[in-house]
C-alpha cells in the first residue's frame, strides 16, 4: 500500500527522495524507483541505439530462450521479437519503427530486464507472467536506426505503410499482428522537443494517444479501452511528473499502423517519449516510460477511482509551443526580434550531435524556450553577420558591441 506520496522536483525530476514503501506479505520490498536504479540496462544510453548497441543484450535474451528472429529488414538486418509470459492477455509492442526514436527501446529493454531479474518483486513478476503474454519487437526498423533516420532504408515512413505494406518491416509487423491476435497493442515512439501541453509552456515529456479508428473519430469499444488505460496511466504519472503528460493529435490516417489496428478492433496505445528540461539524451524520459509500463500492467496498485473517458479528454492535447532555445530582446540590424533556435540531431560516429539552427525570428512571445536567454536590447551577430536567416546553421552568436560570445 502507499503510505505517502512522492513529489516531482524541478531539478532532480522524479529521482527525488522517495517517501513511500510498498508492503507485501509483511516484508518491505524495495520500492520500484530503487529497483529501476538496480535493474535498468546500463549497456544502453543516449540517443543513438542501433542493432550494434543492442547486440550483447539480444545475445543474453537468445541464451535464455526469449528471443526469436522474426525476419529481415530491407537491408537484410535481423528483426527480432522478444516473448515473455504465458498468460491469456496478449500484448504486442513494437519500438523504433522510426529509426531515430530510441527512447522507448531503452525503456522497453529496461522493462524486460526488470522481468528477467531474480532479486526484486518476484511475486508480482510471476503474476504478470501468468496473466500476460508479452510480445515485443525492440527495433522494427534496424536500417533506419543504423542511419539515425525516421524512415527505413528505402526512405519509407513505416508508419504510413500500414495499408500498402510495401516494405519488409511493415509486412513483418502485420504478419505478427495477425498471428498473435493481441488484446492490446503498444506503438512506441519519440516526439520532438517542440511539443507543449496545450497552450502552456510545459514540455510534453510523455504523450499518449488512443488513435482514431475511423475518420469520424468515433469512440469504438477498442478505442475506449485504450483511452481508459491511458487515463489510468496518466493518474499515476501525474504524481511522478506533474504537468508533463500530454495527449497526441487524433486525426485519423488509415496508413498509420496504430489507427489501422485500432480500426480492426484491437485497443492500441501510442506512446511518445518527449523532452524534459536538460534531458536531451532522454534518460529521465526513459525512466518515466519504464514506470509507465509498470503502471500499465498493474505492478503499482491504483490509489484513485477507476478512470473515465472524461479523465482521458482532460489530458491536455499536444501543441507546439516549445523551442530548444529562445533569445529574447535581441536587436538584429537595428530591429528588435526574438530568435528561436532548434537543434538538429546529426549522427556523428555512434553519437548524436545537437547542432543549432535558426528556427524562427520575430515576436515569439507565445513560445517558450527550454532555455531562454535575455540579450537585453543588445545588437547581436549570428555567424559574424547582421542578418539572420531561418534554417541557417549557427556556428557563433555574439554581442556586436563587445564581441562577447553568447553560449547556447
**What are the residues binding Zn ion (CB under 5 A)?**
98, 101, 189
From residue 105, alpha-carbon distances to 25, 35, 164, 290, 350 in Å are: 33, 19, 26, 10, 17
Positive or negative: CA dihedral 364, 365, 367, 368: positive
Q: Which is nearer to Zn ion, 49 or 358 (CB)?
A: 49
CB of 158 to Zn ion, least distance (A): 9
Q: Which is nearer to Zn ion, 193 or 235 (CB)?
A: 193
Report residue 112: phi and psi, to 5°: -60, -40
Q: How far is the CB of 187 from Zn ion (least distance, A)?
A: 9
Residue 362 β-bridge partners: 338
Q: Looking at beta carbons only, is 189 or 247 nearer to Zn ion?
A: 189
Q: Which is nearer to Zn ion, 189 or 275 (CB)?
A: 189
Grid cell 475518420 in the structure block, residue: 215
Q: How far is the CB of 292 from Zn ion (least distance, A)?
A: 16
Least Å distance between CB 59 and Zn ion? Answer: 27
Cβ distance to Zn ion smaller for residue 15 or 149: 149
Q: How far apart are CA 186 and CA 332, in angstroms?
A: 47
Long-range contacts of 301-310 (CB under 8 A, 24+ apart): 301/1, 301/2, 302/232, 302/235, 302/236, 303/2, 304/235, 306/228, 306/232, 307/228, 307/231, 307/232, 307/234, 307/235, 308/228, 308/231, 309/219, 309/224, 309/227, 309/228, 309/231
Min. distance of Cβ 47 from Zn ion in angstroms? 14
We find the least distance from the C-beta atom of residue 190 to Zn ion, in angstroms, to be 6
Smallest distance from Zn ion to CB 217, Å: 20
Taking CB atoms, the residue at the shortest distance from Zn ion is 189
3-state secondary structure of 246: strand
Instruction: Output 105 or 342, the one with its CB closest to Zn ion.
Output: 105
Count H helices and E strands in the chain, helices first: 10, 18
> CB of residue 101 vs Zn ion: minimum separation in angstroms?
5
Of 267 and 273, nearer to Zn ion (C-beta) is: 273
* CA 227 to the chain's CA centroid: 18
Given the complex with Zn ion, which of 101 and 169 has the nearer CB atom?
A: 101
Residue 94 or 299: the one with the smaller Cβ distance to Zn ion is: 94
Q: Could you identify the residue written with the cell 516531482?
A: 8
Here the cell at position 219 is 469512440
> In Å, what is the CA distance from 266 to each residue of 24, 182, 272, 308?
34, 7, 19, 19
- In whole angstroms, the minimum distance from the beta carbon of 73 to Zn ion comes to 17
Estimate the share of the chain in helix, then strand, then coil, as percent rounded to the nearest 5: 30, 30, 45
Please say which residue, 101 or 124, places its beta carbon nearer to Zn ion: 101
| Among 10, 16, 13, residue whose Cα is nearest residue 34 | 16
Reading the block at residue 230, the C-alpha cell is 491511458
Per-residue DSSP letter, 405: B
94 CB neighbour count, 10 Å cutoff: 29
State the minimum distance, in angstroms, from the CB of residue 213 to Zn ion: 20
Q: Which is nearer to Zn ion, 84 or 173 (CB)?
A: 173
Instruction: Return the SS3 of 156.
Output: coil
- Closest distance of CB 221 from Zn ion, Å: 26
Q: 49 is written with which cell numbers?
A: 541505439
Amino acid at each position: 500500500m502507499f503510505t505517502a506520496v512522492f513529489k516531482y522536483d524541478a531539478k532532480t525530476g522524479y529521482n527525488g527522495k522517495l517517501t513511500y514503501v510498498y508492503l507485501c506479505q509483511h516484508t518491505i520490498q524495495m520500492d520500484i524507483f530503487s529497483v529501476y536504479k538496480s535493474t535498468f540496462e546500463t549497456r544502453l544510453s543516449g540517443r543513438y541505439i542501433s542493432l550494434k548497441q543492442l547486440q550483447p543484450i539480444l545475445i543474453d535474451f537468445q541464451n535464455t530462450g526469449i528471443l526469436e528472429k522474426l525476419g529481415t529488414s530491407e537491408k537484410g538486418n535481423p528483426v527480432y521479437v522478444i516473448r515473455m509470459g504465458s498468460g491469456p492477455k496478449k500484448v504486442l509492442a513494437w519500438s523504433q519503427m522510426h529509426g531515430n526514436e530510441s527512447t522507448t527501446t531503452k525503456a522497453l529493454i529496461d522493462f524486460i530486464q526488470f522481468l528477467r531479474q531474480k532479486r526484486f518483486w518476484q511475486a508480482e513478476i510471476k503474476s504478470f507472467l501468468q496473466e500476460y503474454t508479452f510480445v515485443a519487437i525492440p527495433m522494427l526498423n534496424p536500417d533506419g536506426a543504423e542511419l539515425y533516420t525516421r524512415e527505413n532504408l528505402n526512405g519509407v515512413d513505416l508508419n504510413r505503410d500500414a495499408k500498402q505494406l510495401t516494405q519488409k518491416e511493415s509486412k513483418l509487423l502485420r504478419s505478427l499482428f495477425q498471428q498473435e491476435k493481441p488484446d492490446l497493442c503498444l506503438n512506441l515512439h519519440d516526439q520532438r522537443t517542440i511539443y507543449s501541453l496545450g497552450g502552456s509552456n510545459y514540455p510534453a515529456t510523455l504523450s499518449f494517444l488512443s488513435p482514431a479508428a475511423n475518420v469520424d473519430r468515433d469512440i469504438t469499444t477498442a478505442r475506449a479501452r485504450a483511452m481508459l488505460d491511458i487515463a489510468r496511466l496518466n493518474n499515476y504519472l501525474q504524481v511522478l511528473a506533474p504537468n508533463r503528460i500530454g495527449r497526441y493529435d487524433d486525426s485519423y490516417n488509415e496508413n498509420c499502423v496504430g489507427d489501422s489496428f485500432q480500426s480492426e478492433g484491437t485497443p492500441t496505445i501510442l506512446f511518445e517519449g518527449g523532452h524534459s528540461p536538460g534531458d536531451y539524451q532522454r534518460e529521465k524520459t526513459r525512466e518515466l516510460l519504464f514506470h509507465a509500463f509498470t503502471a500499465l500492467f498493474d505492478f503499482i496498485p491504483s490509489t484513485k477511482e477507476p478512470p473515465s473517458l472524461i479523465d482521458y479528454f482532460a489530458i491536455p492535447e499536444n501543441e507546439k509551443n516549445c523551442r530548444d532555445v529562445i533569445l529574447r530582446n535581441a536587436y538584429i540590424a537595428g530591429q528588435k526580434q526574438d530568435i528561436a533556435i532548434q537543434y538538429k540531431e546529426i549522427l556523428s560516429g555512434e553519437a548524436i550531435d545537437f547542432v543549432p539552427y535558426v528556427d524562427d525570428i520575430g515576436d515569439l512571445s507565445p513560445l517558450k524556450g527550454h532555455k531562454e536567454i535575455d540579450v537585453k536590447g543588445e545588437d547581436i551577430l549570428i555567424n559574424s553577420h547582421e542578418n539572420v536567416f531561418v534554417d541557417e546553421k549557427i556556428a557563433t552568436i555574439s554581442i556586436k558591441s563587445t564581441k562577447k560570445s553568447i553560449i547556447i
